Structure 1
Amino acid sequence: MPRLIMHVDLDAFYAAVEQRDRPEWRGRPVVVGAAPGGRGVVATCSYEARRYGVHSAMPIAVAARRLPPETVYVRPDMARYARVSREIMTVLQTLSPVVEPVSIDEAYLDCTGLQRLIGPPEAIGRRAKAVIREAVGLTASVGLGPNRLIAKLASDSHKPDGLTVVPAGQVQAFLDPMPLAVLRGVGVKTAPRLERLGLHSVGDIRRLPLETLRRQLGARAGTAVHQQARGIADDRVYPARERQSISKETTFGTDVTDPEVLRETLRWAAQEVGYVARQEGRAGSVVTLKVRLHPFETHTRSGTLRAATADDRMLFRTAWALLQAEHWLGRRAVRLIGVGLSGWHSEPEQGDLFADSGVIPEGSDADRLHETLDAIRDKFGKGMIQRGMARPPS
């Protein structure tokens, strides 16, 4: 039986949760992220805000200049979004037993065989959208296809509240007109190189000999792009995979050189990673900084702590120190930045990167403070209380 993979992507998730819970905000531009006048960025925004050219990772100062006075600005409430996400993943498991959450607002499902129970792929997609709407009152864009690549591109093709099915026999007709950028491995550095060869669409790539692509992109990347252009990709869903790391990253709409914007973005990412780690009862000793420089030059740097932690401040300080140690800061334009935590230990130990011992015993004031802050966030929302972080030395 042909594989049928579904990709579910919640529409403007954070902003949609805010509009759901505050009906007076519906129909208005809503920005989730930093407040105007600060140096932070947009985490996400409603579709009403996107009409003004605002998007995720845009510096808040730029967004505020574009948006009208009636715009609502709200700080992220990760505890509430995580609760809604868990409800969504639970209800999706009533549709298929094979669900793989890949982020807080998207998941893959293996729907192979569900045609016998529910009907054709369109009916399965409608059912998924309906159970999400009934459970949490939100819309999702859904794509179905023979593998993960096609399902993801299908869900992206009609947003918001879209439903796109790409049968196996129509994969090439679906892919061929798409721009080069939809293929992984074709970025701002490689796309111009291919365009100089007269290649502007996936169909153009598909018709190019493999050896030509390998010469232009290298053996590994050229082969991968060649396969994607033919719709060849992984068709498995991995529901039981052990999480190897927790990470949060964002791509800036406009390349950033301002150290303050990078610092605030790292702080935001560290807060999200730390919260998720604590909710899952995890503590890690390896902090990873990911930076993508203009045009498409990606670097990772890792630091190993003396003790495992899930402390936001420790993650932020370590990632910021890793960034400061490089020559990029203030000199190279940054397209993407993120923080990851891995190297799991069974028992969290709140360490201090700069302390002699590196360990704060379990049950300490720091442990109790984390528990208290997380409990307040879970009950009342993140916006009710937020711990400040000391400004690191320049």
Structure 2
Amino acid sequence: MHVDLDAFYAAVEQRDRPEWRGLPLVVGAEPGKRGVVATCSYEARAFGVHSAMPMAEAVRRLPPETVYVRPAMEHYMRVSRQILTVLDGISPVVEKVSIDEAFVDISGLERLMGPPEVIGRTVKARIREAVGLRASVGIGPNRLIAKLASDAQKPDGLTVVAADQVGSFLDPMPLGVLRGVGAKTAPKLARLGLQTVGDVRRLPLEELRRHLGARAGTQVHLQARGIADDHVDPRRTRKSISKETTFAADVTHGWVLEDSLRWAAQEVGYWARHEGRKGRVVTLKIRFRPFETHTRSQTLKAPTASDVEIFDAAWTLFRFEPWAGRPVRLIGLGISGWDGADAGRQLDLFETAAPEPPRERERLDTTLDAIRDKFGAGRIQRGLPRRSPS
């Protein structure tokens, strides 16, 4: 079973502010500033607005009564944890995919709760009772089918696809629903006259592999037949945590870029500590006009969740690239390579252990996190010396 909260951020805002219900509502960047839509209510979607749309385009499409809200991530996380508690009460095997969706293994629950349709309705009702929000639920024989089923009747939908219904369920769908069919693969399939999943399913594997390559062709072939992973793993975690800033106007001042990376490091460090993670790989992302994007990564000697260490690594990556003076459209950083991923790696004979972060720094992180949890983001931040000339 795949459970997906409908327009989650926007739904939480409308739940908490009844006067906003029924109005177009956008969560994301402030109007008039460069940035994108994080999510929007279904009233806003009626005007063609969607996630990742530039905010300027969304404002042009929406009526004057539209409500614009900045994301309140800590609040959304609290609601997400309440929903996860509901799902834990349904099944002992729940895999959280993101803040607003999860996979649930419901095999063997028929004797306790009834057929899949009854289980799906029960989940929806319990979520509505616990947090006052609507969820779309899809049930199928594997992750791919369950995910597509939850999308099939949004919002507030419930779709069950039995094993013998997979072919008829997939056949009319556009090719874009298959993983790996993107900007490069889709035109190749279109040139073959393929438009739907059913078209692909009728094409021999050998021909798909000839046009797409062995790996991609095999992947598309299997998905078109509804063959996918059916394993739900509660221990599966997201691969990285990242934050970025899109500037209202292109930036050339080093101190602005440094401050933006400092903010991103504090956000990433906070969420890493919040989730009990430490990462070994810090990645810098930078974008120039129009969409020239570069990433650079550094592997640390020891995993960390420290704001200071994350920032230092990212800023070092920035300084050692020939980017000085170029107008920057976007800059951000991320952390990955969680502690334990390198378990069993033999150290070099002459490698010295990385020093532990000072206990004072850890205590300061804990104190800042506690203040943020109580009073919200932006109330306090770490003071760090500036490395760029103002």
> In which range does the TM-score fall when normalised by the shorter chain?
0.7 to 0.9
Query: 1:273–1:340: 8 Å Cα contact kept in structure 2?
Result: yes
* 1:374 maps to 2:369: yes
Query: CA separation of 1:19/1:206 partners in 2, compared to 1, >3 Å: closer, same or farther?
Result: same
* 1:236-286 deviation per Cα after TM superposition (whole angstroms, max 9, x unaligned): 111134x47433589x9xxx9x866xx899888766543321113333231
**Alignment equivalent of 2:240, drawn from 246, 262, 271:** 246
Distance across 1 between alignment mates of 2:287 and 2:262: 17
Q: Offset at 1:162?
A: 0.9
Distance across 1 between alignment mates of 2:56 and 2:386: 20
SS state at 1:223 partner: helix
Which amino acid letter does the alignment assign opposite residue 27 of structure 2?
A: V
Distance across 2 between alignment mates of 1:235 and 1:26: 38
Query: 1:306–1:358: 8 Å Cα contact kept in structure 2?
Result: no
Tell me how large the CA RMSD over aligned residues is: 3.9
Distance across 2 between alignment mates of 1:179 and 1:292: 31
Query: CA separation of 1:307/1:239 partners in 2, compared to 1, >3 Å: closer, same or farther?
Result: closer
* 1:182-223 deviation per Cα after TM superposition (whole angstroms, max 9, x unaligned): 111110111111111110000000000101100111101100
Query: 1:9–1:141: 8 Å Cα contact kept in structure 2?
Result: yes
TM-score, scaled to structure 1:
0.78
Distance across 1 between alignment mates of 2:158 and 2:322: 44
Which amino acid letter does the alignment assign opposite residue 88 of structure 1?
A: I
**Alignment equivalent of 2:94, drawn from 93, 99, 105:** 99
Residue 254 (structure 2) aligns with: none
Residue 3 (structure 1) aligns with: none
Residue 141 (structure 1) aligns with: 136
Distance across 2 between alignment mates of 1:186 and 1:338: 27
Residue 223 (structure 1) aligns with: 218
Which amino acid letter does the alignment assign opposite residue 122 of structure 1?
A: E
**Alignment equivalent of 2:29, drawn from 9, 16, 34:** 34
Distance across 2 between alignment mates of 1:83 and 1:281: 16
Q: Structure 2 matches for 1:124-135, cutoff 5 A?
A: 124-135=119-130
Q: Offset at 1:305?
A: 3.7
* 1:167 maps to 2:157: no
Query: 2:265–2:311: 8 Å Cα contact kept in structure 1?
Result: yes
**Alignment equivalent of 1:361, drawn from 349, 358, 362:** 358
TM-score, scaled to structure 2:
0.79
* 1:235 maps to 2:194: no
**Alignment equivalent of 1:69, drawn from 54, 64, 73:** 64
Q: Offset at 1:289?
A: 5.2
Query: 1:20–1:138: 8 Å Cα contact kept in structure 2?
Result: yes
Q: Offset at 1:59?
A: 2.6
Query: 2:175–2:186: 8 Å Cα contact kept in structure 1?
Result: yes
Distance across 2 between alignment mates of 1:70 and 1:392: 44
5+ residue gaps in structure 2?
Answer: 252-256, 341-353
Distance across 2 between alignment mates of 1:283 and 1:307: 9
Query: 2:24–2:40: 8 Å Cα contact kept in structure 1?
Result: yes
Query: CA separation of 1:299/1:219 partners in 2, compared to 1, >3 Å: closer, same or farther?
Result: farther
Query: 1:273–1:341: 8 Å Cα contact kept in structure 2?
Result: no
5+ residue gaps in structure 1?
Answer: 1-5, 346-356
Query: CA separation of 1:232/1:300 partners in 2, compared to 1, >3 Å: closer, same or farther?
Result: farther
Distance across 1 between alignment mates of 2:121 and 2:385: 48
Structure label with greater radius of gyration: 2
Query: 1:79–1:377: 8 Å Cα contact kept in structure 2?
Result: no
* 1:354-377 deviation per Cα after TM superposition (whole angstroms, max 9, x unaligned): xxx99862223xx45543443243
Which amino acid letter does the alignment assign opposite residue 240 of structure 2?
A: I
Query: 2:241–2:272: 8 Å Cα contact kept in structure 1?
Result: no
Distance across 1 between alignment mates of 2:315 and 2:67: 30
Distance across 1 between alignment mates of 2:115 and 2:333: 40
Q: Offset at 1:170?
A: 0.5
* Number of aligned residue pairs: 364
Query: 1:76–1:382: 8 Å Cα contact kept in structure 2?
Result: no
SS state at 2:81 partner: helix
Distance across 2 between alignment mates of 1:187 and 1:267: 34
Residue 344 (structure 2) aligns with: none
Query: 1:99–1:239: 8 Å Cα contact kept in structure 2?
Result: yes
Q: Offset at 1:117?
A: 1.4
Which amino acid letter does the alignment assign opposite residue 125 of structure 1?
A: G
Answer with 379-388 or 153-162: which moved more: 379-388
Q: Offset at 1:233?
A: 0.5
